[in-house]
Amino acid sequence: MNIKGDKGSGVVLGLGLIFSILGIMGLGLMISNRVVEATRLQVIADNAALAAEDVLRGLATGYPCETAEQFVESFGSTLEACHIVKLDMYISVSKQEMGIVHRVSSHAGVSTDAAR
């Protein structure tokens, strides 16, 4: 049914609304992907620090910083810094994806609390 003076503005409005919703959904997907990548990188850094700590304590063979570097590089990341302070390991890890650099750091050490 054609209404007098109707020029198809409803179709334009409907398409505009659909594309706006798709754009917002795409933006939300990109943001959530960045959060997942940052979380994944933090898990890699934590596990690398724990592996290096095991080497430092003598539970595994090798050198602590080299072990952390091998672990981090196996997941496509870069070990930026590795410091040993007494029996504590401090590492920093980065990864670049689509021009965005994610940086995280992690610490692993022996507990001084006797209750643990």
Could you tell me the residue ranges of all domains in the chain? 10-109
Least confident of 8-12, 34-38, 68-72: 8-12
Residue with tokens 């050198």: 63
Give the separation between CA 42 and CA 76, rounded to whole angstroms. 13
- pLDDT value of residue 11: 82
Rounded to two decimals, the pTM is 0.75
- pLDDT value of residue 87: 84
Give me the residues paired with residue 109 across strands.
88
Q: Which band of pLDDT confidence, cut at 50, 70 and 90, is reported for residue 28?
A: very high
Task: Yes or no: say if 15 and 22 are a contact pair by the CB < 8 Å rule.
Answer: no
Which of 102, 107, 68 lies closest to 86 in space, CA to CA? Answer: 107
- Count Cα neighbours of 95 within 13 Å in the Cβ-side half-sphere: 21
